[in-house]
């Protein structure tokens, strides 16, 4: 091979178009500097043939001395060495000299050019003032330039230019330089256009001949590359690249055609087996070795490809588009493989792999040029290529996130660290594992199951090599349950776990953590949890079974030593547990959702209602997210739970927790069920743990929250009115009605107590509420879930004091129900009871009657004392009865006739039938007659309505002072038979008050004082609660305040009009008060009205807060505006009441309290007294006609 130095061409990028210089060498040398400097200063527009777009081009030139050899010989296609322009330099200004020597020299030069067909020439004449001064005989008309033009440039006057004073800094010199350079550029471009055009034509002709035998691609390659070189030389890298791309495409097409059976002879040289590939060399712009090989037709396919690629890369980098390098590199890689196959080139993978190694180096070099926006593109290229390498060589490369790539791109070393290591990572499982885990993450997050399985398998391989047993087992567990694997593979991984599990801890030496915890979710799937009974709420002695339904994903049956569920004692109110058990179906099953990435990220919202502790009103309401801790955690740092590494740390077993345990459980592939028995208490299930030798399978969290409750309960007795009445009434009252037989329901929750044979409830009898006997009573026994267990007869024995109900045998935690008929007598008004001793030695509480005026019903509380067999204490049960009627009576007068009207109001919601209304007089006064004016004996009284009955009172002789009457009637619900009629009685007393005239006088007279005797009679003995007693001299008395007022100004009360009397507490005790009154008018005057109040001394705190007008205050100022009491004060009548109390202006005041309606009977109401006019001191004429 010839040494390169002998060739005149230097293949560097410093190549410039060659311009030869002939003539005066010294002159040129002087101008050379400024010429090369100024030529590229301004661009020229280069118009192209074939419609190609014109380009602005900066011209440079390599000026060499003209030699004959430089001129291309015929057939030489070398363009780089082609002299595009020939310049003849002269500074001759003397015609003589010109004619003598210069002209001759020029002619020789011209002849040489013409010989080689070169028409691109220029004659430069340098004019200098210095020379002109010396030569005075210059003709101004015909200069040397003109002469030269005449001699050489026929028709081409522009081929001769003059340059004036080029070395001087004058404007004229500048001007001439500028025009000279323009000329030079124009001519150069003309030469380019002409020569390149011709070259291209030749090249095209050559290409057309490619179907002819003997045509060689290598030859053509050299030709077209020559053109590319020129473009490159002219800085037209785009054009140059096009040349190479055309070559590339042509070659590719040939190979494809070859594959299609259209072979060309010249392709034979490319079919030789690949023995080696030295890789790519991008440092040198042109790989001359390869080029030589191509020139000689000895290049292999890879040589050609890599040479082509290196040239393309060079141009791309000149074009500042290095990213295309990577894309093209990839293409190259694929093309090469493809073409090698098509050409049936023998090819061995190791060679390819070493080739790739070099290929990466190329990448590494390229990456340094890259900016970040392109990184993803690079990554894309990367992934694809790496994916295929992994196919070819069995090495896997992970794709890596952006950050890592960025880091990798920062330096070649880092790049190699991140990516290239993997190529060689077969020897380094540690880094391989990391890469695999990286890629695993992406597969998991995008749920690509097949690549996931494959990657996991590789990870398992690495972990096994690294002896990372925990991780390896976890991966194995996942693989064993992976359905993408074959049965055989799954068995293998399953066996790995089992083998490890059966190894004894000693075999491994001193290992502190002998047990390995694996995530249970990888091996089994918890599908359902089922409670029996379904409520998950049982009492202590009953069995609560908990059935777990696990689906084993293992390929073989696995025998677990035991499986345990850890439970957490929950101290919560029973009410809140119901809320927690929301996930539970009514049939007691809890279905666990299949773990999927989608469901894991879903919001789990629950309602939150907060009640204020004081009055249980809603204080706040809101929504709470239960799995916030999962959703809100940072995504980048915390890895998914599916990756085995992190899952292991979360598998911390809760120690010391209570366990539900089941031993020797075999999990066969598919569904299994495991039954646990629950201990008492309120518990929440927390974890599941299966032990298998040294391996523990742990399910760290159970979601949804599952709770159960095993409780203990005391027996309870409750008595309630039977809400569903047996009456077919329109409105069913939920009250118990007094006077009618009523059903009450006894409910006994047995709790932990079991009712034995002979156990009985002892009810203390009271007279006012007897228990009615009925022969057929039965008790129902209900289980805790309200199912009817049994029904048995109830036997009731009753003695004088006690009613004993013997209970049927009832197991614990059952409900015993039975009904009992009771009757509450209506006490005749007012109700009063003797205190009595009950049989069991307890003082019974007095039954009380109280009146609620707002509801209009009188209530009777009946306390029943019940002795229960399970307790030594009696249970006191309160029943409230409602008196259905309210009776009022009134005395009506017509002249001297008196009528008694009784109004009976039905205050209940039940309609009643009323019969036999009678009014009797208790004292059986013979002169008295009560005549019924009622037409019907039967009447219906509807709810909330009244029935009126009227009797006329007839008497002979003196009217009785008081009448003790009793109204009685029988009543029954409207639709009940006559047998159900119950009596109703009402007692009342009528009394009489009289005014007697003064002693000795027959009649009262106007203006004369009369004596008024007020007679107060206690008709009934008061109940102790009703009135205040004061003990004076051992006599129990009640203090009453009386007041005589005449509102109609008929009477003038003289002296004391009011006072306090002490009434002895005894029936018929009478207190008479005498006072003086003066009638002011004559005629039949009504009696002055007498008001009666209870007088409460100040020390007794009144039960009912007094009204303001019922206050008797000694402080006179406070009474000013009270008109009613004003009269009292003016008469000073009160002063006598409390002399000591007047000293206390404010303080506990004595109170007066009005009597209830019907409590006071005014005997003189409606009576009149005859008052005669005063003694006739004046004459009064009475004319009688």
Partner 1 sequence: MAVCIAVIAKENYPLYIRSVPTQGELKFHYTVHTSLDVVEEKISGVGKALADQRELYLGLLYPTEDYKVYGYMTNSKVKFVIVVDSSNTSLRDNEIRSMFRKLHNSFTDVMCNPFYNPGDPIQSKAFDSIVSTMMVQAF
Q: What is the spatial distance between Cα 185 and Cα 193, in angstroms, rounded to a whole number?
A: 12
Q: For residues 579 and 609, is the Cβ–Cβ distance under 8 A? A: no
Rank residues 450 and 1104 by Cβ distance to partner 1 and give the closer one: 450
Q: β-strands 707-711, 537-539: how paired?
A: parallel
Give the SS3 label for residue 36: helix
- How far CA 567 is from CA of 320, 660, 700, 708, 992, in Å, comes to 69, 7, 12, 10, 85
Interatomic CA distance for residues 736 and 738, integer angstroms: 7
Per CB under 8 A, 338 contacts partner 1: yes
Q: Cα(939)–Cα(655) distance, rounded to whole angstroms? A: 81
Say whether residue 569 binds partner 1 (CB under 8 A).
Answer: no
- Residue 965: closest CA among 897, 900, 1043: 900
Phi then psi for 547, rounded to 5 degrees? Answer: -110, 125
Q: Closest Cα partner for 254 from 263, 245, 246?
A: 263
403 vs 1177, which CB is nearer to partner 1? 403
- Note whether 387 binds partner 1 by CB under 8 A: yes
Q: 295-318 b/e with 16+ CB inside 10 Å = b?
A: eeeebbbbbbbbbbbbbbbbbbbb
Question: Looking at 117-125, 141-149, 180-188, 449-457, which segment touches partner 1 (CB under 8 A)?
Answer: 449-457
| Alpha helical stretches, state H, 81-170 | 95-97, 103-115, 129-134, 144-152
Give whichever of 379 and 928 is closer to partner 1, judged by the CB atom: 379
Residue selected from 32, 376, 402, 948 as contacting partner 1 according to rule CB under 8 A: 376
Instruction: Show the site string, 398-417: x = touches partner 1 by CB under 8 A, - = not.
Output: -x------------------
Piece of 443-451, 1019-1027, 1129-1137, 1156-1164 that binds partner 1 (CB under 8 A): 443-451
Per DSSP, the three-state class of 799 is: coil
Candidates 25-33, 265-273, 368-376, 677-685: pick the segment binding partner 1 (CB under 8 A). 368-376
Measured from the CB of residue 440, what is the shortest distance to partner 1 in angstroms? 12
Q: Which is nearer to partner 1, 236 or 338 (CB)?
A: 338
* 370 lies in the site for partner 1, by CB under 8 A: no
Q: Under the criterion CB under 8 A, does residue 379 sit at the interface with partner 1?
A: yes
- Residue 975 interacting with partner 1 (CB under 8 A): no
| Residue 970: half-sphere exposure toward Cβ, Cα within 13 Å | 11
Is residue 351 a contact point for partner 1 (CB under 8 A)?
no
- Regarding 377 and contact with partner 1 (CB under 8 A), the answer is yes
- Cβ nearer to partner 1, comparing 446 with 1021: 446
Choose the binding region for partner 1 from 326-334, 634-642, 706-714, 789-797 (rule: CB under 8 A). Answer: 326-334
350 lies in the site for partner 1, by CB under 8 A? no
At closest approach, how far in Å is the CB of 489 from partner 1?
13
Task: In angstroms, give the least distance from the CB of 625 to partner 1.
Answer: 22
Cβ closer to partner 1: 455 or 849?
Answer: 455
CA 773 to chain centre: 62
Judged by CB under 8 A, does residue 337 bind partner 1?
Answer: yes
From the list 208-216, 387-395, 1018-1026, 1152-1160, the region that binds partner 1 by CB under 8 A is 387-395
Q: Which residue in 47, 334, 837, 897 binds partner 1 (CB under 8 A)?
A: 334
Dist. CA 185–CA 174, nearest whole Å: 16
* Residue 303 three-state SS: helix
Could you say whether residue 383 binds partner 1 (CB under 8 A)?
yes
| Spatial CA neighbour of 219 closest among 272, 130, 163, 296 | 296
In the bound state with partner 1, the residue whose beta carbon lies nearer, of 439 and 564, is: 439
Residue in 40, 451, 741, 827 binding partner 1, rule: CB under 8 A: 451
- Fill in the per-residue mask, 570 to 599: x = in contact with partner 1 (CB under 8 A), - = not in contact: ----------------------------x-
Burial letters 126-137, b for 16+ CB under 10 A, else e: bbbeeeeeeeee
Residue 912: Cβ-neighbour burial (10 angstroms; 0-12, 13-18, 19+):
buried
Which residue, 384 or 1032, has its beta carbon nearer to partner 1? Answer: 384
Question: Which CB atom, from 383 or from 1131, has the smaller least distance to partner 1?
Answer: 383
Residues 696-755 that bind partner 1 (CB under 8 A): none
Query: Does 374 help bind partner 1 (rule: CB under 8 A)?
Result: yes
The least distance separating partner 1 from the CB of residue 578, rounded to whole angstroms, comes to 33
Cβ–Cβ contacts within 10 Å for residue 493, how many? 25
Q: From the list 446, 734, 929, 975, which residue makes contact with partner 1 (rule: CB under 8 A)?
A: 446
CA distances from 534 to 249, 543, 677, 965 (A): 78, 12, 14, 67
Say if residues 1040 and 1016 touch (Cβ distance below 8 Å): yes
Burial (CB count <10 Å: 0-12, 13-18, 19+), residue 106: buried
Nearer residue to partner 1 within complex by CB, 355 or 520: 355
- Give the residue with the Cβ less far from partner 1, 162 or 338: 338
Q: Which of 373, 575, 656, 1000 binds partner 1 (CB under 8 A)?
A: 373
Alpha carbons 996 and 1002: distance in angstroms, whole number: 9
Return the residues of window 1126-1165 that contact partner 1 according to CB under 8 A. none
For residues 976 and 974, give the distance between their C-alpha atoms in angstroms, rounded to a whole number: 6
Selected binder of partner 1 within 115, 256, 426, 1174 (CB under 8 A):
256
User: In the complex, what is the shortest distance from the CB of residue 443 to partner 1, in angstroms, rounded to a whole number?
Assistant: 7
3-state secondary structure of 776: coil
Q: Using an 8 Å Cβ cutoff, are 781 and 810 in contact?
A: yes
Size of the site for partner 1 (CB under 8 A): 30
Find the binder of partner 1 among 263, 297, 380, 1158 (CB under 8 A).
380
Can residue 384 be called a binding residue for partner 1 (CB under 8 A)? yes
Options 414-422, 441-449, 469-477, 1152-1160: segment touching partner 1 (CB under 8 A): 441-449
Separation between Cα atoms, residue 329 and residue 926, nearest integer Å: 141
| Secondary structure (3-state) at 956 | coil
Is 454 a binding residue for partner 1 by CB under 8 A? The answer is: yes
Which of 7, 17, 165 lies closest to 79, judged by CA? 17
User: At its nearest, how many Å lie between partner 1 and the CB of residue 386?
Assistant: 8
CA-based angle 1009:1014:1020, to the nearest 5?
175
Is residue 940 at the binding interface for partner 1, with CB under 8 A as the rule?
A: no
What is the smallest separation between the CB atom of 314 and partner 1, expressed in angstroms? 23
Q: Is the CB of 388 or the CB of 1129 nearer to partner 1?
A: 388
The one among 11, 318, 369, 443 contacting partner 1 by CB under 8 A: 443
Q: Which is nearer to partner 1, 449 or 1048 (CB)?
A: 449
- Following DSSP, what letter does each residue of 171-229 receive, concatenated? HHHHHHHHHHHHHHHHHHHHHHHHHHHHHHHHHHHHHHGGGSTT--HHHHHHHHHHHHH
**Given 26, 29, 178, 447, the residue binding partner 1 (CB under 8 A):** 447
Nearer to partner 1, 383 or 562 (CB): 383
Closest C-alpha among 686, 684, 688, 707 to residue 699: 688
The distance of closest approach from Cβ of residue 121 to partner 1 in the complex, given in angstroms and rounded to an integer, is: 48
Q: To the nearest whole angstrom, how small is the minimum distance from the Cβ of residue 382 to partner 1? A: 8
Residue 658 Ramachandran class (φ > 0 left, ψ -120 to 50 alpha, else beta)? beta
Nearest one of 1159, 1141, 1003 to 1082, comparing CA atoms: 1003
| Footprint on this chain of partner 1 (rule: CB under 8 A) | 256, 330-331, 333-334, 337-338, 341, 373-374, 376-377, 379-381, 383-384, 387-388, 390-391, 399, 443, 446-448, 450-451, 454, 598
């Amino acid at each position: 091979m010839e040494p390169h130095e002998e060739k005149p061409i230097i293949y560097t990028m410093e190549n410039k178009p060659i311009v030869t210089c002939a003539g005066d060498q010294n002159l040129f040398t002087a101008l050379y500097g400024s010429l090369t400097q100024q030529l590229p200063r301004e661009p020229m527009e280069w118009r192209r043939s074939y419609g190609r777009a014109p380009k602005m081009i900066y011209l440079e030139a390599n000026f060499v001395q003209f030699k004959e050899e430089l001129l291309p010989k015929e057939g030489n296609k070398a363009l780089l060495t082609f002299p595009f322009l020939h310049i003849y330099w002269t500074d001759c200004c003397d015609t003589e000299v010109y004619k003598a020597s210069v002209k001759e020299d020029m002619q020789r030069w011209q002849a040489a050019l013409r010989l080689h067909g070169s028409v691109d020439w220029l004659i430069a004449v340098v004019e200098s003032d210095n020379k002109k001064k010396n030569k005075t005989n210059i003709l101004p008309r015909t200069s040397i330039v003109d002469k030269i033009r005449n001699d050489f440039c026929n028709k081409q006057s522009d081929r001769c230019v003059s340059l004036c004073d080029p070395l001087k800094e004058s404007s004229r010199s500048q001007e001439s330089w500028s025009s000279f350079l323009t000329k030079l550029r124009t001519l150069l471009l003309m030469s380019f256009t002409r020569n390149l055009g011709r070259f291209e034509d030749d090249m095209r002709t050559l290409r057309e001949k490619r179907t002819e035998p003997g045509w060689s691609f290598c030859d053509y390659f050299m030709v077209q590359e020559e053109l590319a070189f020129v473009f490159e030389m002219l800085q037209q890298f785009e054009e140059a690249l096009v040349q190479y791309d055309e070559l590339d495409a042509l070659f590719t097409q040939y190979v494809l055609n070859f594959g299609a059976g259209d072979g060309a002879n010249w392709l034979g040289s490319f079919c030789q087996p690949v023995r080696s590939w030295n890789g790519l060399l991008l440092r040198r712009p042109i790989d001359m070795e390869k080029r030589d090989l191509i020139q000689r037709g000895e290049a292999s396919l890879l040589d050609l490809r890599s040479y082509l690629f290196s040239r393309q890369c060079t141009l791309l980098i000149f074009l500042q588009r290095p990213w295309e390098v990577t894309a093209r590199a990839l293409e190259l890689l694929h093309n090469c493989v493809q073409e090698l196959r098509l050409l049936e080139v023998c090819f061995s993978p190791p060679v390819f792999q070493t080739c790739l190694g070099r290929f990466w180096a190329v990448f590494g070099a390229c990456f340094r040029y890259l900016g970040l926006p392109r990184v993803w593109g690079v990554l894309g290229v990367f992934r694809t290529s790496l994916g295929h390498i992994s196919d070819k060589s069995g090495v896997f490369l992970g794709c890596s996130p952006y950050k890592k790539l960025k880091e990798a791109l920062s330096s070649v070393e880092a790049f190699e660290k991140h990516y290239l290591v993997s190529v060689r990572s077969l020897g380094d499982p540690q880094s391989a594992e990391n890469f695999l885990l990286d890629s695993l993450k992406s597969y998991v997050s995008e749920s690509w199951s097949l690549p996931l399985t494959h990657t996991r398998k590789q990870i398992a391989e690495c972990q096994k090599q690294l002896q990372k047993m925990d991780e390896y087992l976890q991966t194995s567990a996942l693989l064993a349950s992976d359905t993408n694997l074959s049965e055989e593979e799954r068995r293998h991984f399953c066996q790995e776990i089992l083998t490890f599990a059966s190894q004894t801890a000693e075999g491994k030496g001193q290992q502190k953590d002998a047990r390995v915890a694996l995530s249970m979710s990888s091996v089994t799937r918890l599908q359902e949890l089922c409670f029996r009974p379904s409520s998950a709420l049982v009492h202590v002695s009953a069995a609560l079974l908990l059935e777990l339904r696990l689906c084993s994903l293992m390929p073989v049956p696995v025998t677990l030593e035991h499986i345990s569920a850890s439970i957490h004692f929950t101290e919560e109110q029973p009410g809140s547990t119901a809320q927690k058990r929301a996930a539970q179906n009514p049939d007691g099953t809890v279905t666990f959702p299949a773990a999927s990435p989608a469901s894991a990220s879903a919001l789990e919202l629950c309602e939150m209602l907060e009640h204020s502790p004081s009055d249980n009103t809603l204080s706040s309401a809101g929504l709470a997210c239960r799995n916030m801790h999962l959703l809100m955690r940072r995504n980048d740092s915390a890895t998914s739970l599916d990756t085995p590494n992190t899952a292991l740390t979360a598998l911390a077993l809760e120690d010391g927790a209570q366990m539900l345990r089941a031993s020797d459980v075999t999990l066969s592939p598919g569904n299994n069920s495991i039954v646990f028995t629950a201990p008492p208490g309120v518990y929440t299930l927390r974890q599941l743990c299966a032990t298998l030798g040294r391996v523990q399978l742990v399910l760290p969290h159970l979601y949804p929250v599952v709770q159960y409750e095993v409780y203990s309960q005391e027996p309870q007795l409750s008595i309630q009115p039977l809400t569903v009445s047996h009456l077919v009434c329109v409105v069913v009252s939920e009250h118990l009605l007094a006077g009618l037989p009523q059903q009450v329901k006894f409910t006994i929750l047995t709790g932990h107590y079991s009712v034995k044979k002979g156990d009985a409830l002892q009810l203390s009898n009271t007279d006012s509420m007897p228990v009615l006997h009925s022969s057929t009573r039965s008790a129902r026994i209900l289980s805790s879930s309200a199912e009817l267990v049994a029904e048995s007869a109830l036997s009731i024995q009753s003695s004088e004091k006690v009613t004993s109900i013997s209970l049927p045998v009832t197991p614990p935690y059952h409900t015993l129900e039975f009904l009992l008929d009771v009757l509450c007598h209506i006490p005749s008004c007012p109700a009063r009871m003797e205190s009595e001793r009950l049989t069991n030695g307890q003082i019974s509480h007095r039954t009380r009657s109280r009146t609620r005026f707002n509801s209009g019903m009188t209530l009777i509380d009946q306390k029943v004392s019940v002795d229960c067999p399970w307790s030594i204490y009696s249970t006191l049960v309160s029943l409230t009865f409602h008196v259905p009627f309210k009776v009022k009576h009134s005395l009506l007068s017509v002249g001297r006739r008196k009528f008694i009207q009784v109004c009976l109001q039905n205050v209940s919601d039940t309609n009643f039938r009323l019969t036999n209304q009678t009014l009797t007089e208790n004292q059986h006064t013979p002169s008295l007659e009560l005549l019924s004016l009622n037409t019907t004996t039967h009447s219906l009284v509807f709810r909330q309505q009244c029935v009126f009955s009227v009797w006329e009172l007839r008497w002979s002789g003196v009217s009785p002072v008081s009448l003790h009457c009793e109204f009685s009637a029988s009543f029954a619900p409207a639709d009940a038979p006559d047998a159900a009629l119950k009596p109703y009685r009402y007692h009342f007393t009528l009394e009489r008050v009289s005014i007697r005239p003064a002693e000795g006088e027959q009649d009262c007279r106007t203006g004369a004082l009369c004596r008024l005797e007020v007679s107060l009679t206690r008709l009934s003995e008061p109940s102790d609660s009703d009135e205040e007693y004061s003990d004076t001299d051992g006599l129990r008395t009640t203090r009453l305040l009386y007041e005589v007022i005449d509102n109609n100004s008929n009477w003038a009360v003289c002296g004391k009009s009011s006072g306090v009397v002490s009434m002895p507490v005894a029936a018929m005790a009478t207190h008479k008060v005498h006072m003086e009154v003066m009638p002011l008018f004559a005629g039949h005057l009504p009696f002055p009205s007498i008001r009666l109040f209870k007088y409460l001394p100040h020390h007794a705190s009144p039960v009912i807060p007094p009204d303001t007008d019922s206050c008797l205050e000694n402080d006179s100022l406070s009474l000013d505006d009270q008109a009613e009491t004003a009269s009292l004060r003016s008469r000073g009548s009160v002063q006598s009441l409390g002399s000591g109390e007047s000293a206390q202006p404010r303080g506990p005041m004595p109170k007066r309290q009005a009597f209830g309606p019907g409590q006071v009977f005014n005997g003189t109401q409606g009576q009149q007294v005859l008052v005669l006019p005063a003694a006739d001191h004046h004459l009064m004429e009475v004319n009688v006609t």
